[in-house]
Structure 1
Amino acid sequence: MDKLMKFIDAHADEYVKYLVELVKIDTHDIEHGIGGGREKEGQLYMKQLFSSMGASRIVEDPLTEDVILACREKYHEGNLGHAYDDRFNVYAEFTGCGSKSILFNGHIDTMPVGDPEKWEYDPYGGIITGGRLYGVGACDMKAGLMGAVMAVKAIQDAGLELPGTVKFASVCDEEGGGNGSLVAAMHGQKADAVVVCEPTDYELVAAHMGWVFFKIETEGVAVHSGLKIGGVNAIDKTVKIMRALEELEHRWLLTHKHILLPPPSGNVGVIQGGEAGSTVPNYCCIQLCVHYLPGMTYDEVVKDYTDTVMRCADGDEWLREHRPKISIYQTGNPFEMDLAHPFVEAFKTSYERAMGEPVRIVGSPAGCDSRTWRNIAGCPTLQYGPGRLAQCHAVNEYVEIKQYLDAIKIYANLIMNYCA
Structure 2
Amino acid sequence: MDFEAIKKAAEGYRADMTKFLRDVVKFPGESCGEEMHAKRILEEMQKVGFDECGIDKLGNVYGYMGKGKTCIAFDGHIDTVGIGNRDNWTFDPYEGYETDSEIGGRGVSDQLGGVISAVYGAKIMKDLGLLNDKYKVLVYGTVQEEDCDGMCWEYIIKKLGIKPEFVVSTEPTDGGIYRGQRGRMEIYVDVKGVSCHGSAPERGDNAAYKLAEIIQDIRALNNNGAGESTSIRGLVKMLDEKYNPEWKEANFLGRGTVTVSQIFYTSPSRCAVIDSCRISLDRRMTAGETWQNCLKEIEELPSVKKYGAKVGMYDYDVPSWTGERYPIECYFPTWVIPEDHKVTKALVEAYNGLYGTERIGSKETVAMRKKRPLVDKWTFSTNGVSIMGRNGIPCIGFGPGAEAEAHAPNEKTWKDDLVVCAAVYAALPTIYTK
User: 2:139 maps to which residue?
Assistant: 168
Matches of 1:282 and 1:266, distance apart in 2? 25
Matches of 2:214 and 2:13, distance apart in 1? 60
Q: CA deviation at 1:143?
A: 0.5
Q: CA deviation at 1:7?
A: 2.9
> Given the alignment, which residue of 324, 331, 335 partners 2:309?
324
User: 1:262 maps to which residue?
Assistant: 254
Q: Any idea what SS the aligned residue of 1:375 has? A: coil
| Bigger mean CA deviation after superposition, 349-358 or 339-348 | 349-358
User: 1:196 maps to which residue?
Assistant: 169
> Given the alignment, which residue of 281, 284, 307 partners 2:277?
284
Q: Check whether the contact 2:182–2:335 (CA below 8 A) recurs between aligned residues.
A: yes
Change (3 A) 1:228 1:349: same
Letter in 2 for 1:28: E
Change (3 A) 1:231 1:14: closer
Alignment of 1:183 onto 2:174 = no
User: 2:303 maps to which residue?
Assistant: 312
Matches of 2:351 and 2:236, distance apart in 1? 34
User: 1:39 maps to which residue?
Assistant: 34
Alignment of 1:366 onto 2:380 = yes
Q: Any idea what SS the aligned residue of 1:259 has? A: helix
Deviation digits for residues 341-385 of structure 1 (CA, Å, limit 9, x no counterpart): 111001111112222224622233321101211134432111221
Q: Any idea what SS the aligned residue of 1:260 has? A: helix
Q: Any idea what SS the aligned residue of 2:179 has? A: strand
Q: Check whether the contact 1:185–1:372 (CA below 8 A) recurs between aligned residues.
A: no
| Bigger mean CA deviation after superposition, 218-227 or 392-401 | 218-227
Q: How many residues align?
A: 379
Matches of 1:326 and 1:230, distance apart in 2? 27
Q: Kindly, what percent of the aligned residue pairs are identical? A: 23
| Bigger mean CA deviation after superposition, 242-251 or 335-344 | 242-251
Q: CA deviation at 1:247?
A: 4.5
Task: Give the aligned CA root-mean-square deviation in angstroms.
Answer: 2.6
User: 2:22 maps to which residue?
Assistant: 20
Alignment of 1:241 onto 2:214 = yes
> Given the alignment, which residue of 143, 157, 161 partners 2:113?
143
Deviation digits for residues 325-355 of structure 1 (CA, Å, limit 9, x no counterpart): 3332232122121222111001111112222
User: 1:357 maps to which residue?
Assistant: 357
Alignment of 1:62 onto 2:41 = no
Q: Check whether the contact 2:298–2:311 (CA below 8 A) recurs between aligned residues.
A: no
Q: Check whether the contact 2:49–2:123 (CA below 8 A) recurs between aligned residues.
A: no
Matches of 1:325 and 1:374, distance apart in 2? 31
User: 1:400 maps to which residue?
Assistant: 414
TM-score w.r.t. the length of structure 2 is 0.79
Alignment of 1:417 onto 2:431 = yes
User: 1:70 maps to which residue?
Assistant: none
Matches of 1:394 and 1:243, distance apart in 2? 30
TM-score w.r.t. the length of structure 1 is 0.82
Runs of 4+ with deviation above 6 angstroms: 274-279
Matches of 2:82 and 2:217, distance apart in 1? 37
Matches of 2:199 and 2:62, distance apart in 1? 65
Matches of 1:134 and 1:324, distance apart in 2? 46
Q: Any idea what SS the aligned residue of 1:213 has? A: strand
Q: Any idea what SS the aligned residue of 2:44 has? A: helix
User: 1:49 maps to which residue?
Assistant: 44
Change (3 A) 1:351 1:161: closer
| Bigger mean CA deviation after superposition, 220-229 or 174-183 | 220-229
Matches of 1:38 and 1:227, distance apart in 2? 49
